[in-house]
Amino acid sequence: MKRTIENGIETFEAELDGERIVWDRGLTYADHLQTDPLLSAQVPMSGKHDEMLFIIMHQTMELWIKLQIHECKQAMAQIRADELPQASRTLDRIATIMQHMIHSWEVLATLSPSEFMTFRGYLGKASGFQSHQYRELEFRLGLKRPELITIHMDDPERTAALEEALAAPSLYDEMLYLLDRRGYEIPKEVIGRDLTKPYESDRTIENAWLEIYSNPQEHWELYALAEKVTSLEYYFQEWRFKHMKTVSRVIGHRHGTGGSAGVKYLVKALELRFFPELWSMRTRMEADKPEGGSHGGGHAEGCPV
Ligand code: HEM
């Protein structure tokens, strides 16, 4: 190994496995990625073997949620600046992270009920229900449920962060402002509403999306962006579904550590929507009429041809 000083920094060089490897004390892998605090943050309460899987599953998901919030803010800024191709790439990244998180449930599904029961009693009332990042992501996407901040009232910093996210325009709001800028009919009461209140589905907005989807060629940019946003919600719901199925596999119909009815609570959450009119509009889409007025096959309406 060779040691030199380059620009006042201790620098090393070694021939390893036929490669000339270099490193210095200026910035190491551990410094940049903070691996020491990261890898000392797994602190099992029970001393039981399987709790490590439970902790690392939660921690990795929290890291991915952190990145999703970061990217969501970027997508909103890009939409605000009318940079739609850039926003589209950012939305793709968020959706891909979500797909990765969905696949990762398979790792947790290797936890059997008996293995979980070896440490469940040590978890107290701790529950994913208290994940402030998860709630922030819901708010940022468009699902505002102010009452859920209550659970963080003992922590002023978290409460303030969630209140900021609650009062800020969501990704869906940015989409609606965009439609407004592009001349679609968006009611002023929707644009100027109190953003801290839950969003209520609006027929005029459903009509705007219907117009876009009924003629994609004419509205291509908005249509393509709306499909990206729809994919995001589609994968989010799939994440919720996999969570619910994993939970039912591990604890059956027991109550959660956070006090809810457990699986029943998680099933109810499958009905939640970030972008309601982007879903409801689909029911109103009309099928193209067959050329010449009839397709001549004599099929009843609804026949899948
Ligand atoms: C064996 C593993 C798991 C079990 C048994 C479990 C169980 C539950 C239950 C029963 C709830 C409902 C609230 C309660 O009463 O506690 C819940 C909520 C939640 N869990 Fe899990 N969970 C598990 C793994 C995970 C993981 C790995 C994450 C990743 C961060 C997670 C995130 C959440 C979130 C965010 C909620 C709140 C959902 C909402 O309010 O819509 N859970 N979990």
Residue range 199-235, pLDDT digits in tens: 999 999 999 999 999 999 999 999 999 999 999 999 9
Q: How confident is the model at residue 291 (pLDDT cuts 50, 70, 90)?
A: confident
* pLDDT at residue 15 in the model: 97
Task: Please check the confidence at residue 304 and state whether its pLDDT lies above 70.
Answer: no
Give the residue ranges of the annotated binding site for substrate: 120, 257
* pLDDT at residue 65 in the model: 98
Q: Are 136 and 165 in contact (CB under 8 A)?
A: yes
Task: Please check the confidence at residue 300 and state whether its pLDDT lies above 90.
Answer: no
Q: How far is the CA of 192 from the centre of ligand 1 (A)?
A: 35
Task: Please check the confidence at residue 287 and state whether its pLDDT lies above 80.
Answer: yes
* pLDDT at residue 303 in the model: 59
Sign of CA dihedral 232, 271, 173, 184: positive
* pLDDT at residue 49 in the model: 98
Q: How confident is the model at residue 118 (pLDDT cuts 50, 70, 90)?
A: very high
Q: How far is the CA of 267 from the centre of ligand 1 (A)?
A: 12
- In the chain, where the domains are located: 2-36, 53-120+127-250+258-286
* pLDDT at residue 292 in the model: 78
- Name the residue with higher pLDDT: 299 or 113: 113
Atom number of ligand 1 nearest to Cα 257: 16
Q: Measuring from atom 19 of ligand 1, which residue has the nearest CA?
A: 128
Q: How far is the CA of 244 from the centre of ligand 1 (A)?
A: 8
pLDDT tens digits, 3-51:
999 999 999 999 999 999 999 999 999 999 999 999 999 999 999 999 9
Q: How far is the CA of 127 from the centre of ligand 1 (A)?
A: 6
Atom number of ligand 1 nearest to Cα 148: 40
Q: Which CATH number, 1.20.1530.20, 1.10.150.120, 3.40.1170.10, 1.20.58.480, labels domain 53-120+127-250+258-286?
A: 1.20.58.480
* pLDDT at residue 301 in the model: 56
pLDDT tens digits, 236-285:
999 999 999 999 999 999 999 999 999 999 999 999 999 999 999 999 99
Q: Indicate if ligand 1 lies below 6 Å from the C-beta of 186.
A: no
Q: Indicate if ligand 1 lies below 6 Å from the C-beta of 272.
A: no
Q: How far is the CA of 245 from the centre of ligand 1 (A)?
A: 11
Structure tokens at 304: 């899948």
Residue type, 121: G
Q: How far is the CA of 113 from the centre of ligand 1 (A)?
A: 15
Task: Please check the confidence at residue 298 and state whether its pLDDT lies above 60.
Answer: no
Atom number of ligand 1 nearest to Cα 262: 10
From 243, 246, 254, 270, mutation site for ligand 1 pocket: most ligand atoms within 8 A of C-beta: 243
Q: Measuring from atom 29 of ligand 1, which residue has the nearest CA?
A: 58
Please provide the average confidence, as pLDDT, over all residues in the chain. 95
Distance CA(229)–CA(277), nearest Å, equals: 12
Per residue, the 3-state secondary structure of the chain, as one string, reads CEEEEECCEEEEEEEECCEEEEEECCCCHHHHHCHHHHHCCCCCCCCCCCHHHHHHHHHHHHHHHHHHHHHHHHHHHHHHCCCHHHHHHHHHHHHHHHHHHHHHHHHHCCCCHHHHHHHHCCCCCCCHHHCHHHHHHHHHHCCCCHHHHHHHCCCHHHHHHHHHHHHCCCHHHHHHHHHHHCCCCCCHHHHCCCCCCCCCCCHHHHHHHHHHHHCCCCCHHHHHHHHHHHHHHHHHHHHHHHHHHHHHHHHCCCCCCCCCCCHHHHHHHHHCCCCHHHHHHHHCCCCCCCHHHCCCCCCCCCCCC
Q: Indicate if ligand 1 lies below 6 Å from the C-beta of 250.
A: yes
Q: What is the mean pLDDT of residues 70-91?
A: 98
* pLDDT at residue 293 in the model: 66
Percent of the chain exceeding pLDDT 90 equals 95
Give the residue ranges of the annotated binding site for heme: 243
Q: What is the mean pLDDT of residues 75-90?
A: 98
Q: Indicate if ligand 1 lies below 6 Å from the C-beta of 95.
A: no
Q: Measuring from atom 3 of ligand 1, which residue has the nearest CA?
A: 247
* pLDDT at residue 115 in the model: 98
Q: Indicate if ligand 1 lies below 6 Å from the C-beta of 61.
A: yes
Q: Are 90 and 78 in contact (CB under 8 A)?
A: yes
* Cβ-Cβ contacts under 8 Å for 191 (sequence gap 6 or more): 176, 177, 180
Task: Please check the confidence at residue 111 and state whether its pLDDT lies above 60.
Answer: yes
Q: Indicate if ligand 1 lies below 6 Å from the C-beta of 53.
A: no
